[in-house]
Structure 1
C-alpha cells in the first residue's frame, strides 16, 4: 500500500461533489442507483468525487458499507476523475489510522480527516496538532485532507495550523467551511507553493474564493444543479462571461436556505425530478419534505433550467445506459 499505486499526485481544479448515497425503500444501499449517480456527476463535469462524506450519510453507514460504497465509486469512475473519501470516525488515533489505511486501499487518491474527530471541542489546537502528527506517523505516506465537518462539531483549521502541517507534504485537500472570505485568502496564502487544493463549500463566497486561488468548489448545491457549479468553476474569471458569473453567484446566494432544508432528502427529490432513478429514502433523520418544499424546489428547478439555457449549458441526463 503506497501512494504510487494511485493515479495522480495533484488534485484537479473544478467542482468536487459531496456524493449522496442512494438507498432502496428497504433502507439498503442502492448500488445501481450509486452507479447512475456517479455517472451523472462525471457527465456534469465534476473534476473529482468526494465519497463517504456527510452528504453520503456516512454516520448512518457501517464500516463495511463505507468501504463498499467508496470502492464502488472508485471502480465506477474508472480513473476518469480522482476520488477522495472520509477515513476517520472517532476512537483512538490508532483506530482512526487503521481505517484511514482501509479506505486508502479502496483506491482513493486521498483520505479525508474529519477535524472534529481528533480533538474535543474543549481541547486546544496544540492537542489537535499533536494527534494529527500521531495520525500521520501511523499512516505511512498516505495523502490526507481535511474536512471541517459540522458534525459532531465544527473544528476550523486556521492558517497557523496549515502553516505547521503543510511542510510535511501530507496534506493535499481541504474542504473549507469557515464561511469567511478573508480567512480563505489567508489559508490560500499560507498554502502557496504546496501541493494543496482548497475547495470551498460556502457558495455565498464561491466567486471570491475561486478568484483568491481556491482549486474549486465542494458543495451540496452540486447535488441539485451540478452543471451550474461546473460552469462557474470554469468561467469565474472569464471577462466575457461576467454578467453570467454574477447571475449564477446571486442565484447561489438566493437559494442557500432552500437547498439546506430537509437535506439530503430535498437533493434526492431534485435529482429524481431531473431523471435520476433513485428513491427519496434517507437514513438520516431530517425535516420532512413537505408539499410546500417540493413546490419551492420545483420552482427552483425551473429557474435552473432557464439559467442553463441563458448560459448555453447543455443539461446532463442522469440516466445511464451502463448500469
Structure 2
C-alpha cells in the first residue's frame, strides 16, 4: 500500500513509547496501534516531529517503524525521514519502504531562505530517496522557520509527481488552505491531500476550508476522528460542540517544550502507555503541571466520558 493524494480522515502522529529506563516499550506500541485502529484513524505517522526520532539509533528507529507496521492492520504507515543530508534520508526511506511503509514525510531545513531554494530542496529530496516514493511536505514555519507560500507549494506539487500530501501547520493558515483549493479549482495545481497538524488547534475551521482531515497526535485522536466524521455528515454544529469541549486541553498540550510530556501523561492515564517517560535529555512534568492536566481531564469528562480516566 502506498500513500495517495486521496488520503482523508485522521492520520495520527504516534509517539515513541519508552520505559522509565529509556528502553523502547514494545507492548505500548502494540496497545497504541490497536487503539488507533479501533478509534477509526485512517493512518499512522511514526517518527514525526514529536516522535523523538533524533533520540533513536538507526536500528531502533527501524524497529519502531517495523513494529507499528506489523500491528497497523492494513492502515498506511508514514515515516518521518527528515535529516540534515540526503544520504541519511535516502537510507532511512529505503529501509522503511522495504518494511512496508506507505510513504515518507519531509520537513525543510531551516537554512532555506528563498522560494527557489525551497522548491529546489524538495526536487533534490525526491530524487535522492527515489521518485517512486510518495512524500508529504511538512509545512510548519513556527518550528522550522521556513515560510512556504501557496505559490511555492504549487511549484513543489507541479514539479514532483511523488508529492501527494501537504501537512499543513502554518499559523494563521486558513487562507492558505483556501488558496490551495482555489488552485485546484482553476486547474493550476493537481489535487493533493491536505491534512492539518498544530495539535488540531484549528481543525474546526480547517475542515470547512477544504482540509481532508488531521495529521496530528492530540491525546484524544478518537475525538478528532469524530470531528472529521461529523463534518463529513454535514453536522457542523455538532462537530464544533465536541471540538470546543476539548479545546482547553488541546491548547494546554500545544505548549512548546512541555506538550509531548503532557500528551504522554494523558495517554498513560488512558491506559495506552505504560510510562509517560520521554527519552533523555528531557524534563519531567512537575507536580503542578500534572495537577493542571488532571483538572482539565476532570472538566472535560463532564462533556466527553472518554476523559473519565482512572487516577
Give TM-score, length-normalised by structure 1: 0.83
Residues of 2 paired with 1:306 and 1:87: CA distance? 40
Whether the aligned pair in 1 keeps the contact of 2:69 and 2:77 (CA below 8 Å) is yes
User: Partners in 2 of 1:127 and 1:277 — Cα distance?
Assistant: 41
Judge conservation of contact 1:181–1:209 (CA < 8 Å) in 2. Answer: yes
Match of 1:295 among 291, 298, 305: 291
SS at match of 1:264: helix
Cα distance in 2 for partners of 1:259, 1:293 equals 11
**Counterpart position of 2:149:** 158
Once the 2 structures are TM-superposed, how far is the Cα of residue 74 of structure 1 from its aligned partner? 1.1
1:144 aligns with 2:139: no
Instruction: Provide the C-alpha distance between the structure 1 equivalents of 2:280 and 2:259, rounded to a whole number of angstroms.
Output: 9
CA distance in 2, matches of 1:19, 1:191: 30
Helix, strand or coil at the partner of 1:199: strand
| Aligned equivalents of 2:97, 2:263: Cα separation in 1 | 28
Partner of 1:25: 20
Query: Is 1:78 aligned to 2:84, yes or no?
Result: no
Aligned-partner Cα distance in 1 for 2:202–2:37: 24
Q: CA RMSD in A?
A: 2.6
| Residue among 35, 38, 43 paired with 1:43 | 38
1:243 to 204, 226, 237: 237
Q: Which moved more, 1:42-51 or 1:166-175?
A: 166-175
Match of 1:90 among 84, 97, 102: 84
Query: Aligned with 1:172: secondary structure?
Result: strand
Aligned residues: 300
Q: Quote the Cα distance in structure 1 between the aligned partners of 2:96 and 2:120.
A: 23
Which of residues 175, 178, 191 in structure 1 aligns to 2:167?
175
Work out whether residues 297 and 308 of structure 2, in 8 Å CA contact, stay in contact via their aligned partners in 1. Answer: no
SS in 2 for 1:74: helix
When normalised by structure 2's length, the TM-score is 0.86
Find out whether 1:234 has 2:229 as its counterpart.
yes
Q: Alignment partner for residue 111 of structure 1, among 104, 124, 138? A: 104
Shift in Å, 1:63: 1.8
Unmatched runs of 5 consecutive residues or more in structure 1: 1-5, 318-323
State which of 273, 276, 280 in structure 2 corresponds to 1:280. 276
